[in-house]
Chains A and B, each alone.
Chain A
Amino acid sequence: MLDVMLILLAASLAMGLSLRYRIPSIPLMIGTGLLLGIPGWLGNANELQQTLQLGLAFLLFVVGSELDIDAVGEQKRTALVFGLVQFALLGTISFGVALWLGFGQRAAAYIGLAIAPSSTLVVVSLLRRREQFFESFGRLALGVVLLQNLLVILLLPVLTSPTPQQGARGIGATLAMALFAWACSRWFAPKLMLHLQRDEESLLLVMLATLFAFVGAAYWLGIPIWSGAFLAGIALSRFPVSGLVRGQLGSLADFFIAVFFVTLGVLLGTVIGNLHPTEVIFNAVLLAAILLFAPFLLIPLARRFGLTTRSSIEVTNLLAQSGELSILVALLGLQYAHIDESVVGTIVLLTVVTMVVSPLISSDRMTWRIMHLLPGPQRKGISVDHTDHLIFIGCGTSTREIIRCVVAAGEKVVAVDDDSAVVDQLAEIDGVEAIRGDGADPWLLKRLGLRDAKLVVSTMRRISDHERLMRLAGDTQVIVRTFEHDAAERLRNCGATVVSEADEGERVFLEWFDEWSGEKNPSEGGDPTPGAVA
């Protein structure tokens, strides 16, 4: 009980610091665990190893359950190609650098496989916090981490098996289990879970039974049991099963993830004396540099798939960290005695460093800095000579309808969007000057003739983008669309005319509600109109 208390106190401290300084909690948990481990305050190593294994099983189960292929949407193909190239590129460079640093081939292979995947936990949490799941780069990032995770668990048997034949058999067994997990997610799990959905205790047991059945099957097939844990999560990752297990799994995940990362820190603390700190730090920093500079190589690739410069930077920066899969690879290598504690220390330190800097390098500010470093070809030759024109920034389907109307009525329109397909459609409308670019880019805004325009309409998502626009627009009237009231207030204070989605949503709801209540009240119990859409 004393050990549990100390682990939870360390996790609490890490979470408190994480909230205070907006740093991901995982590296802080490893750090506080390290502080516990160095003086050797925690129990025996055997007990810690078992805690670590239980925590890792839950961690990978959670990671698997977060990865619903349907959420990738139309980005599946792009994710497949981009993910494969990124994985191969990072893996190969890291393998080469590890060899250059003097690691043996096997250790270098472990390092290559550890650096190639990004952290699902970090990517998902950043996308959720920033409400960017539905942006094209968000879906792409999700697809890429799903692919990376699958590649890692497919390649694990190659590293851990003593002979190539056994490795090939391991890949076959993993593929078979992955197919079974996919079949479970489509047919078996929904039937079972929907049958049990009113009973939380049964749901929890089914969830745990799924986890341990997959782990048992992996053990029986001779592949790493953690692959089983991950695939068990995949088996429960589709809606509505994922939603049903979320509540039950969420609490277990929070607890076991905290326990896992703190215990990992503790174990590292207990062996810190065996490490060569200078070497570990040097290697980790060098390898971290690969991860952090890889985006510069990958941005052109992302742009080839039709992403704008900004989205390309955002997706590559978002993926620039190692994570839980990296730690899994390291721990497996240690378990099979293929790598020593120094390599594990290097990989963990690398993970800590890249996770800490991840929110910073994927921030808006960093994106803009990189954009300035990368002048793209579309930045040349844009010059709008109109006056008294209408400027539309962000041209979704409904905005394009409005544009058609105003052009038909004789207005001159300049339309800006970052999606090449949208720009192509805009270009087909007579009287519209369609420009592909990011409306938040000051360079572009300055060339749109903002101050000579009759009106600017902006439907960009981020408040900071609107505010930048307002600063450059001078006295020109700007209509912006936003959701939250506090954002609307801020923009009104900047002089914008605001269309509040929240207020408009409320209005249409109340109109519908009045009608619905009116229909319902005269004949109590009447059915509402199903499927009505505002």
Chain B
Amino acid sequence: MAAMFVGRKLQVPSIVNYLIAGLVLGPVFGWLSLADTTESEGIGLAEISEIGIVLLLFLVGLELSLKEIKGVGLVAVAAGLGQVVFTAAGGFLLSLALGFGTIESLFIATALTFSSTVVVVKVLDQKGELKSLYGRIAVGIFLVQDMVVIAVLTVLSGLGSLDEGAEEGAGEAATSIGFWEASGSVMLAFLKMSLLLVAVLLVARFVLPKVFAMVERSPRAAMIWALAWCFVMVEIAHVLGLSIEIGSFLAGLSLAQLPRSHDLRRRVHPLMNFFIAVFFVTLGSKMDFGEAAAEWPAAVVLSLFVLIGNPLIFMFIITRFGYTRRTSFYTSVTVAQISEFSFIFIAMGLSMGMIGSQVNSMVAVVGLVTIVSSVYMILYNRWLYELCERLGLLRIFAEHESDGSEDARDGELSDHIVIVGMNSMGRAIAKSLVDRGEKVLAIDTDPQKFEGLPVEKRLGDISYEDTLAEASLSTAKIAISALKIDEANRMFAHRCNTLGIPVAIHGFDRSVLGGLEKLKPAFVLNSKAAADEQLRKLLADCGAEL
């Protein structure tokens, strides 16, 4: 949290803050020992980090519909596989040129090849651009890369099982095992992924809607059921030899079609933030810079290769698919870092005695430099694109005309009326306002309460800031709460006041009026007083003397 506070003042992204916190706890002061991640200690940081990754990819799946993923499937496969080949080749040659041996160059090249799904998805989520075209292509590319990672792990385990011989001998073995095993593994992974995808789609179409209808009116139960389904999918993926990322992504994708998917996303988000913070802090704490000083020239060259070379390879491939330079640039910038897998891979090489510890330290430096730099590159991708265009750096790539879909965003509401709580009064007010020609957006946690209402609907809980953001509260004409929950009403009034939106709040009981009036809403809707008035009229009509 200390890192977050300092970082907030300096406008540093949260991922960078977490990494710095990890560095301080680990390599700098040594307060967080790597032993903390071992299973013998109980629930290790490694397991908590893994849960963070699972939840992050689950959220990505929840965010994206199958239609959106299908649209970018071809470019993701081509760019994902193409980049693996070109980056690996480029990294290998560059490492040889920098004086590393063949085996070391092979390890370095592989470490440079893969980008970090977790870093990119977290930044895109923070930017709210997971659903953008470039965000979807990036997610597709990372999923393809995940399958190649499986192939690499297969090769590595093959190498590990070989009798440890001379370096050259191992090199030859790597070459012979590498080609056939890698090709077979990639094909097998694609086959398993396809089968799993078909099975998940069938379940999503025929089973999940019925199952989740049972907990339709209980958001808490729906969240626990969704999480259970997510971890079931993770286990299935694990059994099939696929990555946990693929399992959790497919779980999210299968629930994305449910009416409650947005609410689920909002509920899982804080959980993900909690677990993923542990992941990044652990990542920072594990970086080992022991012999980095001796290898700094190589670290600089390889960092530049990842930061500039990788995006160039992607630009080259993506523009071939007819995307504009802008979209290609935004997508390409997302891959300008190495992955957490790179550290694992290098550590495995070190433990097998195939590479020296100086390679391990150098890759740690490359990792830190590229992850931190790429976070900024993604956050400021628009500014960077305009700068590159102004300098004419992108002219080597063909420009294609945009069909408009690339920059399309959901039409944001404005000058509308937000009504929270679809009880009888909320529904009656919503209908009357629609009759008067107003644009009305209704929010409730119970989907059944929306039935028959001719308004925009958002299923969700107003305790979550995202629910109000998705309702475009900041651009609303006025907000109304018909809820009979005092704390929720006061919080809603407080949030509206912060945004400067006039708000009418239901003062449903005499005991809550004082607290509400302190918040100075535009109107306190005192339904009891109004009913008293009507009661007087009725008494008079019934012949009571008044």
A252 located at the interface, meaning its Cβ lies under 8 Å from any Cβ of chain B in the complex: yes
- List 20 additional contacts besides A1-B231, A534-B523, A534-B529; criterion CB under 8 Å: A1-B47, A5-B231, A11-B228, A18-B221, A47-B43, A201-B14, A208-B1, A239-B487, A397-B510, A405-B536, A409-B546, A455-B539, A479-B535, A483-B527, A484-B424, A504-B527, A508-B525, A516-B502, A530-B521, A530-B522
What CA separation (Å) do A16 and B213 show in the bound complex? 11
Contact A251 B428 (CB under 8 A): no
Contacting residues, chain A, for B428 (C-beta < 8 A): 485, 502-503, 506
- In the bound assembly, the distance between CA atoms of A250 and B461 in angstroms comes to 11
* B270:A243 contact, CB within 8 angstroms: no
- When the two chains form their complex, are residues A481 and B531 in contact, meaning their CB atoms are under 8 A apart? yes
Inter-chain contact count A-B, CB under 8 Å? 282
| 9 closest Cβ pairs, A-B complex | A505-B527, A243-B491, A409-B545, A502-B424, A504-B530, A5-B231, A247-B463, A8-B228, A502-B425
Bound form: Cα–Cα A244–B269 in Å: 15
- When the two chains form their complex, are residues A533 and B232 in contact, meaning their CB atoms are under 8 A apart? no
Q: Shortest CB–CB separation between residue A25 and chain B, in angstroms? A: 8
| Bound CA–CA A73/B433 (angstroms) | 36
Chain A: interface size category: 35 or more
B543 at the interface (CB under 8 A from A): yes
- Closest chain B residue to A503, Cβ basis: B428
User: Given A8-B224, A243-B463, A402-B539, is A1 in contact with B544 using a C-beta cutoff of 8 Å?
Assistant: no
Across the interface, do B512 and A134 meet the contact criterion of CB distance under 8 Å?
yes
Which B residues lie at the A interface, using CB under 8 A? Answer: 1, 4, 8, 14, 39, 42-43, 47, 50-51, 54, 126, 214-215, 218, 220-221, 223-225, 227-228, 231-232, 234-235, 238, 244, 266-271, 273-274, 277, 423-425, 427-429, 432-433, 461, 463-466, 478, 480, 482, 484-488, 490-491, 494, 498, 502, 504, 506-513, 515, 517, 520-536, 538-539, 542-546
Inter-chain contacts of A483 with B (CB < 8 A): 423-425, 484, 508, 527
Name the residue on B nearest A483 (C-beta). Answer: B424
Q: Is A279 an interface residue (CB 8 A)?
A: no
Contact A1 B267 (CB under 8 A): no
> Known contacts being A205-B277, A402-B539, is A54 close to B43, with CB within 8 Å?
yes
A240 touches B491 (CB 8 A): yes
Could you list some 6 contacts between A and B, CB below 8 A? A200-B269, A204-B270, A251-B269, A486-B424, A501-B531, A509-B429
Q: Restricting to A1-39, which residues have a CB under 8 Å from any CB of B?
A: 1-2, 4-5, 8-9, 11-12, 15-16, 18-19, 25
Known: A205-B4, A399-B532, A477-B542. A506 touches B425 (CB 8 A): yes
Tell me if A254 and B429 are in contact (CB < 8 A).
Answer: no
A247 touches B461 (CB 8 A): yes
- For B14, list chain A residues within 8 Å (CB): 201
Residue of A at shortest CB range from B237? Answer: A1
Assess the B4–A254 pair: CB atoms within 8 A: no
A131 near B267: Cβ-Cβ < 8 Å:
no
The answer to whether B487 touches A15, judged by C-beta atoms less than 8 angstroms apart, is no
B539 CB contacts on chain A under 8 angstroms: 402, 406, 455, 457, 479
- Say if the beta carbon of A248 comes within 8 Å of chain B: yes
Is A499 interfacial (CB 8 A cutoff)?
yes
CA distance A499 to B534 in the complex (A): 7
Interface of A is mostly: helix
Q: Contacts of B461 on A, CB cut-off 8 Å?
A: 247, 250
Q: Are A502 and B423 in contact (CB under 8 A)?
A: yes
**Chain A residue with Cβ nearest B462:** A247
Tell whether, in the assembled complex, residue B487 and residue A242 are in contact, meaning their CB atoms are under 8 Å apart.
Answer: yes
Is A165 at the interface (CB under 8 A from chain B)? Answer: no
A349 at the interface (CB under 8 A from B): no
Chain A residues closer than 8 Å to B488, beta-carbon distance: 243
C-alpha gap A487/B462 in the complex (Å): 26
Given contacts A50-B43, A201-B14, A398-B528, contact A1 B487 (CB under 8 A): no
A278 to chain B, nearest CB (A): 34
Residues of B within 8 A of A505 (CB): 425, 429, 482, 506, 525-527, 530-531
Please tell me if the beta carbons of A532 and B523 are within 8 angstroms of each other in the complex.
yes
Known: A243-B463, A484-B423, A531-B520. A454 touches B544 (CB 8 A): yes
Complex CA gap A533/B504 in Å reads 10
Q: Does A387 contact B (CB under 8 A)?
A: no
Chain A residues, Cβ within 8 Å of B542: 455, 477, 479, 497
Q: How far is the CA of A503 from the CA of B533 in the complex (A)?
A: 12
Q: Which of A252, A488, A504 has the most CB of B within 10 A?
A: A504
Contact A15 B506 (CB under 8 A): no
CB distance from A504 to the nearest CB of B (A): 4
- Min CB–CB distance B284 → chain A (angstroms): 16
B524, A532: Cβ atoms closer than 8 Å: yes
Known: A501-B425, A506-B432. A1 touches B522 (CB 8 A): no
Residues 246-262 (chain A) with a chain B CB within 8 angstroms: 246-252, 254-255, 258
Contact string, A416-458, partner B, CB cutoff 8 A, digits 1/0? 0000000000000000000000000000000000000011010
Q: Does A512 belong to the interface (CB within 8 Å)?
A: yes
| Residues on B with beta carbons closer than 8 Å to the beta carbon of A92 | none
Whether the pair B424, A134 counts as a contact (CB closer than 8 A) is: no
Query: Roughly how many angstroms separate A463 CA and B101 CA in the complex, as a whole number?
Result: 83
B545 and A410 within 8 A (CB): yes
In the assembled complex, the Cα of A396 lies from the Cα of B423 at a distance in Å of 24
User: Quick check: B42 and A19 within 8 Å, CB to CB?
Assistant: no
Q: Is the CB of A5 within 8 A of B424?
A: no
A19 and B525 contact, CB distance less than 8 A: no
B531 surroundings in chain A (CB, below 8 A): 481, 499-501, 504-505
| Residues on the A chain within 8 Å of B214, using CB | 16, 19
A197 contacts B by Cβ under 8 Å: yes
Tell me which residues from 213 to 245 in chain A have a Cβ below 8 Å from any Cβ of chain B. 239-240, 242-244
The answer for the CA separation of A19 and B228 in the assembled complex, in Å, is 17
Q: Are B527 and A255 in contact (CB under 8 A)?
A: no
Separation in Å of the B216 CB from the closest CB of chain A? 10
The reply to whether the CB of A383 lies closer than 8 angstroms to some CB of chain B is no
Bound: A158/B358 CA distance, A: 56
Question: What chain B residues lie within 8 Å of A208 (beta carbons)?
Answer: 1, 274
A8 partner residues in chain B, CB cutoff 8 A: 224, 227-228, 231
Nearest Cβ on chain B to A40's Cβ, whole angstroms:
18
A204 CA to B221 CA in the complex, in Å? 22
Distance A415 CA – B449 CA, assembled complex (angstroms): 37
Q: Shortest Cβ distance from B140 into chain A, in angstroms?
A: 25
Tell me the complex Cα distance, A410–B543, Å: 12
Complex Cα–Cα for A528 and B490 (A):
19
B228-A134 in contact (CB<8A): no
Residues of chain A with a CB closer than 8 A to B244's CB: 1
Decide if B215 touches A19 in the complex (CB within 8 Å).
Answer: yes
Chain B contacts of A508 at CB under 8 A? 525-527, 529-530
A454–B544 alpha-carbon span in the complex (Å): 9
Q: Please judge, given known A-B contacts A5-B228, A454-B543, A528-B522, whether A506 and B429 are in contact too, CB under 8 Å.
A: yes
Q: Nearest CB to that of A244 among chain B residues?
A: B491
Task: Give the shortest distance, in Å, between B74 (CB) and chain A (any CB).
Answer: 32
Q: Are B220 and A15 in contact (CB under 8 A)?
A: yes
Does residue A46 face the partner (Cβ distance < 8 Å to B)? yes
A51 at the interface (CB under 8 A from B): yes
Q: Are A255 and B535 touching (Cβ within 8 A)?
A: no
Complex: A317 Cα to B507 Cα, angstroms: 29
